[in-house]
Chain A
Amino acid sequence: MPRIQNSILITTFALLLCSCQRVISVRLDSSASKYVIEGVVTDQPGGTVVSITQTRDFSSDNTFTGVSGATVTIENNGYSYPLTESGAGVYTTSVLTGAPGNTYGMKVVMGGVIYTATSTMPNPVVGIDSIFVATGTLTNKRYVSVIISDPAGIPNYYRWVQYVNGRKEKTNFLGDDEFTDGLKIRTQLDFSNDTDDTARDIKTGDSVRVDMINLDSAAYHYWFALQQNADGSGGSASPANPASNIAGGCLGYFSAQAVRSRSLLVGKE
């Protein structure tokens, strides 16, 4: 809903205004570095991954090297699964594949501080009923649409990740069922190509894959706050760091989520 209102208003602005954009240099203070932990348990094999990085100054480049030497464990039903470092700052295990309805705990010990979190994988899992490509409403660009059937009577939280020719689209596609509980929902994955990178546009012949992620409330609200307040947009009146569901004083999140994927080859218009 808010997306529709916003897209109308933003497009009107673009139509009306002779607006200009330019890159400017801004002097920003640096701050003490903080840890960023992204922990995910999925119901797909090899989906249990915890990656640990750190914040960097704005003026630095974007190589976020992983933090090694942490002790990472995932716990479920009394069993504790240790994760081993498979790459710099990336901790995995091949032993654990999550199952819907289960609650998982994550524990990271790093630099003498213990970071913990829990998350419950949603059940039942909602998948994509159909996927297709259509032209957008206010532009000539093409977007992927998915149709899903929302289970009635329970709160559901969704996140979609879109890959075009293997490259992840950075826009976050989020949705909940507050206004659409129990209905067949069509969601169009609109995004604004603000970098004018043609590789992001969907064209005939492209191979598109959409991962549909069912997440719990805390993880969904983390992504919502991340997108609303931390993506760098100046339109937010109160930029702030999203509340993390990890205790201990770090950034990031932990999510036990169920993933369903669909792919398609984009045909002619």
Chain B
Amino acid sequence: MRISILIAGFLTMTASLLAISGNAQRPEDVKVTLQLDHASMKEALRQIESLTPFKFLARAEDIEQQQDITLSVKNQSVAMTLQALFRGRNLQYRLVGVNIILKKATANNPDAGEMVPVKFRPPAKFTVSGTIRSAGTGETILSATVHIEEPSTGTVTNEYGFYSLPLPSGGSYRMTVSAVGFKTKSLEFTLTGDLVENIRLDEETKDLQEVTVTASPGSRSLQSPQMGVEKLNIREANKIPVIFGEKDILKTIQLLPGIKSAGDGNSGFYVRGGAADQNLILLDEAVVYNPSHLLGFFSTFNSDAIKNIDVYKGGMPAQYGGRLSSVVDVKMNDGNNKDYSVNGGIGVISSRLTAEGPIQKDKSSFLISGRRTYADLFLKLSTDSNVNRSRLYFYDLNAKANYIFGDKDRLYLSGYFGRDVLAQGNTVGINWGNTTATLRWNHLFNTRLFSNTSLIYSNYDYKIHVNQDGNDFDIYSQIRDWNLKEALQWYASRKNTVNIGLDAIFHSIRPGEITAHGNDAGINSISLQRRYSLENAVYATDTWKVDDRFSLTYGLRVSAFSVLGKGDYYNFDANGQITDTLHYRSGQVVKTYVNPEPRIAASYQLNAISSIKASYVRNTQNLHLISNSTTSSPTDKWIANTNVIKPEIADQWAIGYYRNLAGNKYELTVETYYKTMQNQIDYRNGANIFTNHPIESELLFGRGRAYGIEWLLKKKAGRLTGWISYTLAKTERQIDGINNNRWYNARQDRTHDIAIVGVYEISRKWSFSADWVFYTGDAVTFPNGKYQVGGDVYFYYTNRNAYRMPNYHRLDFSFTDQLKKTKRFSSELVFGVYNAYGRRNAYQIDFRQGKNDPNITEAVETSLFSFVPTISYNFKF
């Protein structure tokens, strides 16, 4: 006998009110309440099925005879009920999983071998799926946890707030949805077919009576094999003090373990021993080539427009590729589709304004966010004509619009435009900036297949203008990408989620063009040849929940990079002299590099509060940033692979231990990694990178290795929240032609790195935050001797990077005063100090002849910021 799904469904609707929750699935434990009056056995078993997770299997002839059953049980176990049902009827039952197999008990074969049901159909599966949004603004919520208690399963929403969960049919389920910054919501439903449950979560508001923050259970997954990731919540990040009072997510992530700052006044950061150009920085999927303003003081990310940031230091999922050391995936807000709102802030250095609202309520919305500095207004106050004619500013514009049409489709258009300007009157100036645009189409093929198609444009360029004393020319350089991506997420079953996709980018680079104006420009017009390339990748990956404890992600990304003509490419001898020149036509393939990149990760849950994870990933990098100085500059050049410059490759193995302490109040993460790198680039002695000659003649190639251990202890609940992070690490390079071909410390090698961050809610009105950072100095090359040439003193070097800069440490703090908070308007004042105890941290150490006594040589340390006060006013309508 089998109970047909349709009949069961009918009964289930009425019986769902009596749904039973609990972990146990044994007949002894599950309880039912039944009222049977002259019913058939079939009917009785049907009713029990509808009230429990069990399914009955039996031979038709064993059951059909049984008629006229009258039984009344109230909250009795299924076991007792069956006992009552089968009394005197010679029926026995056996439990296999959720199936209860009935058979006639006979004297000679009490266990009559395997039961062959008349018609056996495994329980069918339906899917519950939907999009999770904020109730107040309609913003989709990514990485929200969706958890079903029984059977214990769950998933996490994707970058667009979509989730899909295949479940056995006919059951009643209780679902809990949680996300950081939102109130947890529970709901119940029964599954009689595919179900769409779009859920709205309310924002966690600061209770007027209480100021404690309750820990959200879904903030990190012990079970997911994804490791090496830091998910930064914008709300938390906004409380951390930063220089000049400007919230800056790129500076905030440098307080996390494994992510090291490049130092004061320096943009860029190093992740697990990698160089500054090995970080893939994405804004709504578009690559941002120079994510810094004003030589590194600020990043190009305006926190008002940002929804979420994920930083992958290791275990990068297969959908990301192109850089060796990290992925910083920044997602913009979509725009409030319920109500209009304006928020902004005024600070010492810059001000910002954001406006968002619905275009059509609940269907479409827009967001515009802008920011500008006015540091140059202070310069205008100077009486020095050279200073007051200087222009120094940057501006940023983030814009986004999205439209929901139908249940299955959504379209997004987002863009970023930013520019920095440094100029002295009209005589000399430089401006640079990024432009990105992304068009995306989400499409639901069915409840289990989610697709995202993206068309992306990204551009970075700089322009130098000189018009002084007979020299009149411009220099221009640009990198431009056109990118098409397709990503499919297939929620195949409760145990498997499959991601498949492809990624194709066309790069075109104009390395440098000098345009001379007029007849006596003092310089010749010249253009370095443009460079073209095609960077393609396909990937497939499956996350397989093997059982309740063990999960595995296995996948492969294959990248193929083709260097294209039109252009001239060269072969070189060992000294960097050109031996051949090869001419290529437009579109002709110079060389293709194919690299398979395995991405494997596994997690094993030791118990409810701890797990261990391990991963191995290979990453390839095809674009390289050429920069020969210690500070990054907007004129650093991006170059693509050539016939000589090969893709950089990194293999990273990592293991981690994760534990939640004191009932989710604390999170402890310990990760250790080992990374090997191939085809790393360094420069010949005396390299001139601003040359017309092929850049390959200035480069040397070799290998690298990095390893370390990272600790993070995070407190998530209570008046005081924050974290302590500690990294112990090493990174080295070995390049023939440098340091006598021996291994040497990479410039960014930094042994100890500590950050302590705390945010304390003093009262409803006041909060206080502080951070203290300490790190041992970078590896640096200092001289061992000196000599005289042309009557002046020069310095003699032996080993590369064998010395250390002095230790760096500083304390920052800030106070936030909530001035006003009503439904319509809220405002706050933030003030604090950067480098509160004024430690003189070395920015650079130079050696020179004594200033006062030229007969000796001395070391001079330059330090930048001490006691920098910050103040800003933020408001929201």
Nearest B-chain residue to A196, judged by Cβ: B851
Q: Which residues from B are CB-within-8-Å of A232?
A: 783, 794-795, 846-848, 857
State A16–B845 Cα separation when bound (angstroms): 19
Q: How far is the CB of B786 from chain A (nearest CB, A)?
A: 6
- Evaluate whether A20 and B800 lie within 8 angstroms (CB atoms) in the complex, with A230-B794, A239-B781 already known: no
Q: Which residues from B are CB-within-8-Å of A236?
A: 628-630
State A61–B854 Cα separation when bound (angstroms): 9
Q: Which residues from B are CB-within-8-Å of A186?
A: 469-471, 522
From 596 to 651 in chain B, residues with beta carbon under 8 angstroms from any chain A beta carbon are 627-631, 633, 635
State A137–B846 Cα separation when bound (angstroms): 25
Asked if B360 is an interface residue, CB under 8 A from chain A, the answer is no
- Evaluate whether A24 and B859 lie within 8 angstroms (CB atoms) in the complex, with A138-B386, A196-B851, A239-B797 already known: yes
From 661 to 692 in chain B, residues with beta carbon under 8 angstroms from any chain A beta carbon are 682-683, 685-686, 688, 690-692
From the candidates A19, A56, A242, name the one contacting B864 in the complex (CB within 8 A): A19
Asked if A57 is an interface residue, CB under 8 A from chain B, the answer is yes
- Evaluate whether A19 and B863 lie within 8 angstroms (CB atoms) in the complex, with A62-B854, A228-B686, A235-B631 already known: yes
State A29–B802 Cα separation when bound (angstroms): 11
- Pair A20/B523 contact, Cβ less than 8 Å: no
Q: Which of A79-87, A105-113, A114-122, A173-181 contacts B (4 or more CB under 8 A)?
A: A173-181
- Pair B784/A230 contact, Cβ less than 8 Å: no
- Pair A224/B686 contact, Cβ less than 8 Å: yes
- Pair B387/A15 contact, Cβ less than 8 Å: yes
From 16 to 47 in chain A, residues with beta carbon under 8 angstroms from any chain B beta carbon are 16-26, 28-31, 33-34, 36, 38
- Pair B860/A56 contact, Cβ less than 8 Å: no
Asked if A263 is an interface residue, CB under 8 A from chain B, the answer is no
- Pair B786/A9 contact, Cβ less than 8 Å: no
State A185–B633 Cα separation when bound (angstroms): 27
Q: How far is the CB of B646 from chain A (nearest CB, A)?
A: 21
Q: How far is the CB of B100 from chain A (nearest CB, A)?
A: 73
State A226–B783 Cα separation when bound (angstroms): 13
- Pair B630/A1 contact, Cβ less than 8 Å: no
State A34–B794 Cα separation when bound (angstroms): 13
Nearest B-chain residue to A243, judged by Cβ: B685
- Pair B859/A25 contact, Cβ less than 8 Å: yes
- Evaluate whether A181 and B524 lie within 8 angstroms (CB atoms) in the complex, with A5-B635, A62-B855 already known: yes
- Pair B265/A12 contact, Cβ less than 8 Å: no
From the candidates B682, B781, B791, B862, name the one contacting A19 in the complex (CB within 8 A): B862
Q: Which of B423-431, B482-490, B751-759, B822-830 contacts A (4 or more CB under 8 A)?
A: B423-431
- Evaluate whether A137 and B424 lie within 8 angstroms (CB atoms) in the complex, with A21-B860, A186-B471 already known: yes
Asked if A229 is an interface residue, CB under 8 A from chain B, the answer is yes
Q: How far is the CB of B74 from chain A (nearest CB, A)?
A: 80
Asked if A183 is an interface residue, CB under 8 A from chain B, the answer is yes
Nearest A-chain residue to B851, judged by Cβ: A195
From 496 to 514 in chain B, residues with beta carbon under 8 angstroms from any chain A beta carbon are 514
Q: Interface size bucket, A side?
A: 35 or more
Q: How far is the CB of A264 from chain B (nearest CB, A)?
A: 17
Quick one: CB contact mask for B753-787 with A, threshold 8 Å, 1 for yes?
Answer: 00000000000000000000000000011111111
Q: Which residues from A are CB-within-8-Å of B854?
A: 62
Q: How far is the CB of A251 from chain B (nearest CB, A)?
A: 6
- Pair A241/B379 contact, Cβ less than 8 Å: no
Asked if A198 is an interface residue, CB under 8 A from chain B, the answer is no
Q: Which residues from B are CB-within-8-Å of A25?
A: 859
- Pair A15/B787 contact, Cβ less than 8 Å: no
From 208 to 240 in chain A, residues with beta carbon under 8 angstroms from any chain B beta carbon are 221, 224-226, 228-240
Q: Which residues from A are CB-within-8-Å of B738?
A: 238, 240
Q: How far is the CB of B739 from chain A (nearest CB, A)?
A: 9
From 731 to 752 in chain B, residues with beta carbon under 8 angstroms from any chain A beta carbon are 738, 747
Asked if A53 is an interface residue, CB under 8 A from chain B, the answer is yes
- Pair A229/B686 contact, Cβ less than 8 Å: yes
Q: How far is the CB of B808 from chain A (nearest CB, A)?
A: 14
- Evaluate whether A237 and B428 lie within 8 angstroms (CB atoms) in the complex, with A5-B633, A16-B375 already known: no
Q: How far is the CB of B388 from chain A (nearest CB, A)?
A: 11
Q: Which residues from B are CB-within-8-Å of A18?
A: 864-866, 868
Nearest A-chain residue to B792, judged by Cβ: A170
From 267 to 304 in chain B, residues with beta carbon under 8 angstroms from any chain A beta carbon are 294-295
Q: Which residues from A are CB-within-8-Å of B790?
A: 38, 161, 168
Asked if A145 is an interface residue, CB under 8 A from chain B, the answer is yes
- Evaluate whether A224 and B795 lie within 8 angstroms (CB atoms) in the complex, with A19-B862, A62-B857, A232-B848 already known: no
Q: Which residues from A are CB-within-8-Å of B424?
A: 8, 137-138
- Evaluate whether A139 and B386 lie within 8 angstroms (CB atoms) in the complex, with A34-B796, A56-B787, A62-B857 already known: yes
Asked if A261 is an interface residue, CB under 8 A from chain B, the answer is no
Q: Which residues from B are CB-within-8-Å of A57?
A: 784-786
Q: How far is the CB of A189 from chain B (nearest CB, A)?
A: 13
- Pair A56/B785 contact, Cβ less than 8 Å: yes
Asked if B543 is an interface residue, CB under 8 A from chain A, the answer is no
Q: How far is the CB of A71 from chain B (nearest CB, A)?
A: 21
Asked if A269 is an interface residue, CB under 8 A from chain B, the answer is no
State A21–B863 Cα separation when bound (angstroms): 6
- Pair A53/B788 contact, Cβ less than 8 Å: yes
From 46 to 66 in chain A, residues with beta carbon under 8 angstroms from any chain B beta carbon are 53-58, 61-64
Q: Which residues from A are CB-within-8-Å of B791?
A: 168, 170
- Pair A241/B685 contact, Cβ less than 8 Å: yes
- Pair B688/A23 contact, Cβ less than 8 Å: no
Q: How far is the CB of B601 from chain A (nearest CB, A)?
A: 35
Quick one: CB contact mask for B95-109 with A, threshold 8 Å, 1 for yes?
Answer: 000000000000000
State A241–B427 Cα separation when bound (angstroms): 36
Asked if B316 is an interface residue, CB under 8 A from chain A, the answer is no
- Evaluate whether A58 and B794 lie within 8 angstroms (CB atoms) in the complex, with A13-B265, A234-B630 already known: no
- Pair A235/B840 contact, Cβ less than 8 Å: no
- Pair B787/A55 contact, Cβ less than 8 Å: yes
- Evaluate whether A61 and B524 lie within 8 angstroms (CB atoms) in the complex, with A235-B630, A241-B685 already known: no
- Pair B782/A240 contact, Cβ less than 8 Å: no
Asked if A188 is an interface residue, CB under 8 A from chain B, the answer is yes
Asked if B475 is an interface residue, CB under 8 A from chain A, the answer is yes
Q: How far is the CB of A186 from chain B (nearest CB, A)?
A: 5
Quick one: CB contact mask for B507-547 with A, threshold 8 Å, 1 for yes?
Answer: 00000001000001111101000000000000000000000
- Pair B686/A242 contact, Cβ less than 8 Å: yes
Asked if A128 is an interface residue, CB under 8 A from chain B, the answer is no
Quick one: CB contact mask for B135-161 with A, threshold 8 Å, 1 for yes?
Answer: 000000000000000000000000000
- Pair B844/A140 contact, Cβ less than 8 Å: no
- Pair A61/B855 contact, Cβ less than 8 Å: yes
- Pair B783/A239 contact, Cβ less than 8 Å: yes
State A67–B785 Cα separation when bound (angstroms): 17
State A241–B635 Cα separation when bound (angstroms): 26
State A171–B491 Cα separation when bound (angstroms): 67
State A110–B787 Cα separation when bound (angstroms): 18
- Evaluate whether A226 and B856 lie within 8 angstroms (CB atoms) in the complex, with A15-B390, A55-B796, A239-B781 already known: no
Asked if B861 is an interface residue, CB under 8 A from chain A, the answer is yes
Asked if B67 is an interface residue, CB under 8 A from chain A, the answer is no
- Evaluate whether A238 and B628 lie within 8 angstroms (CB atoms) in the complex, with A21-B861, A58-B786 already known: yes
State A151–B786 Cα separation when bound (angstroms): 37
From the candidates A20, A195, A197, A230, name the one contacting B862 in the complex (CB within 8 A): A20
State A23–B848 Cα separation when bound (angstroms): 10
- Evaluate whether A137 and B428 lie within 8 angstroms (CB atoms) in the complex, with A53-B788, A232-B795 already known: yes
Asked if A154 is an interface residue, CB under 8 A from chain B, the answer is no
Q: Which residues from B are CB-within-8-Å of A2?
A: 690
From the candidates A30, A195, A224, name the one contacting B785 in the complex (CB within 8 A): A30
Q: Which 4 A-B pairs have the closest CB atoms?
A: A225-B686, A232-B847, A234-B844, A31-B784
19 contacts between A and B (CB under 8 A): A16-B294, A20-B862, A22-B861, A23-B859, A24-B859, A28-B784, A30-B785, A62-B793, A140-B384, A170-B792, A180-B523, A186-B470, A195-B848, A229-B686, A232-B857, A234-B844, A235-B630, A239-B783, A241-B796
Name 20 extra pairs, CB < 8 A, besides A24-B845, A231-B794, A238-B738: A5-B635, A19-B863, A20-B866, A22-B861, A24-B806, A31-B784, A38-B789, A62-B856, A137-B386, A179-B523, A182-B524, A183-B523, A184-B522, A186-B470, A186-B471, A232-B857, A235-B630, A235-B846, A237-B627, A238-B683
